[in-house]
Amino acid sequence: MIYTLPVADVLLKETLLEDDFNSNYEGWEMITDEDEKSFIKDSYYWMENKSDSRWMFYHKKMPITKGENFIINAEIELLGSKGYGQYGLVWGFSKPHEVLNRFTVSADANRFSVLKFDKDHFRTYHRYSGKYEKPEPTNKKQFFSIMRLDDYYYFFLGEFDRPVYTCHKSHLSMEGIQFGFYIEPGILIRCNKITVKRLITNQSFDGRLWMPVDDNLQPLGSELIRGN
């Protein structure tokens, strides 16, 4: 089924952050203790949650303002797990991180979740879970893309043209501009590149198609998330 949603005409994609982890120039968290570990080595950012019950996250400030359009792209490789748990991206929170947004996949199944939640999970403000297909089931690398475009969010996995989920921005409001990585207990991941781009749109565009389009009114999903 194809849903008709208001979208936008993208005039410019401006790269604000492009980190390939050759150094820690961007200031990612470096942690080593009995419950977690995060470090940069061999052009990867490594993150391990060694706790039994606490989720962990590793974050920094996103180089945008809260009202701007943006796209976050990252490829995350799963290196170890206890056969369960989730990992992925978080965004839209402030330093106290009382309320966060997250886009994650399961370590043991082709399922994903999009949530807005209290840090202690006392309350979930928005939640959607679904299935997705991996082009190579044995591949441990997972591509994530979060795109906020005017009034809507689009979520992509595996560089497919079609988003796995779309929702209005009101469901995932921005409490702040921190963003980063999320991992649950027993999971070890690494990332070799993460990018953030600002999307400038044509405010006079009033088309209604299922997702962003180019000059020929063709879907722009894969072009946008791949950074072409």
pLDDT at 35: 96
Query: CB under 8 Å, gap of 24 or more: what pairs does 29-33 form?
Result: 29/58, 29/59, 29/60, 31/58
Q: Mean pLDDT in each 10-residue stretch from start to end of the chain (228 residues)?
A: 58 94 96 96 97 95 94 96 94 91 95 94 92 80 93 85 90 95 97 96 68 53 49
Q: What does the DSSP 8-state code read for residue 206?
A: -
Q: Which residues contact 13 (CB under 8 A, 6 or more apart)?
A: 71, 197, 198, 199, 200, 224, 227
Tokens representing residue 102 in the block: 């997250």
Amino acid, single-letter form, for residue 143 = F
Angle at 31 between CA 30 and CA 35, to 5 degrees: 155
User: What's the CATH architecture for 5-226?
Assistant: Sandwich (2.60)
Query: Which residue ranges make up each domain of the chain?
Result: 5-226
Among 82, 129, 128, which residue's Cα sits nearest to residue 110?
Answer: 129
- Residue 204: burial class (beta carbons within 10 Å; 0-12, 13-18, 19+): exposed
Q: What is the pLDDT of residue 5?
A: 53
Which 8-state DSSP code applies to residue 16?
E
DSSP state of 46: E
pLDDT confidence of residue 154: 93
Q: Rounded to whole angstroms, how far apart are CA atoms 58 and 9?
A: 33
CA–CA separation, 63 and 193 (whole Å): 16
Candidates 48, 4, 46; CA nearest to 21 is 46
